[in-house]
Amino acid sequence: MATSSLTGERLRDKVCIVTGAASGLGRAIALAYASQGARLVACADLKPTPKSVFEAEEAGIPTHELICKRRGENKGIFVKTNVTIGTEVEALVQEVVKMGGRLDVMVNNAGIGGTENHGMVHEMSEETWDTVMSINSRSVFLGCKYACGQFMKQEPHASGHRGWIVNTSSIMGLVGQMVYGAAYCASKGAVTLLTKQIAVEYAKYKVHCNAVCPGHLRTPMTQDQFQDREMRTAISALTPWGDEWGSAKDVAQAYVYLASDDAAYVTGVALPVDGGYCAQ
């Protein structure tokens, strides 16, 4: 799979927010957006530095600082945000509009994994269910809510479109799987259908809403799985691509496409980027 850094102008002059941008897929998306000419990339997370640096590019540098180092001063900012709290998500959007003059792209990416052994449904605690649903699906609702509110207030982009939302779902938002818990699958399924509903509801206002459904990636979220040889082999066997897991960089390019004018006639899509998993 390609791992080189691609540069271009596909997101030229767009103001973007990426939640969960400190590490993993969110970091890769933020760096990819900056490399494609975004005017401003706001990196939203609880902390600017990740707990794990597994598979991280230039791991010692926070994402927003790396963007500024590569692309210029004020091209990236960090905004501390708890994405499960509506007032904080609203404040995030307001801060970015204050800095960038508008909001063009909202990437609702923050989430937690389902890799912990939560057991079958009858063994799962209500607290586990509520926590996963809050972080993985409520946060996407809030991001969509406040992004759409801003899109409706502002003038259209030069392309004639008002805004782009890209949500992070999962292959587990399309199919069930034994590796992940019921709460994770349900939370990502909610993201998939929320994406389609918003796409239909806001199409007449020229707001795009799409989702990416990543397969098994090498990220801090899956570090324990990947480094457990038995687990890694079992998961690899599920994917037609074989023993090669995807990288965050591979998947980030799909987020670039869905936020670009190349996707001018695309909305309501849940796009698997999964090495062929969902083709089976």
The residues assigned a catalytic role are 184
> Residue with structure tokens 């490399």?
35
- CB of 30 closer than 8 Å to CB of 21: yes
Q: Strand, coil or helix: what is 16?
A: strand
Instruction: Enumerate the β-bridge partners of residue 77.
Output: 42
Helices (H) and strands (E) in the chain, counts: 9, 9
Are 164 and 259 spatial neighbours (Cβ–Cβ below 8 Å)?
yes
Contact 71, 34 (CB under 8 A): yes
Give the HSE-up count for residue 170: Cα atoms under 13 Å, Cβ half-sphere: 26
Burial class (CB in 10 A: 0-12, 13-18, 19+), 86: middle
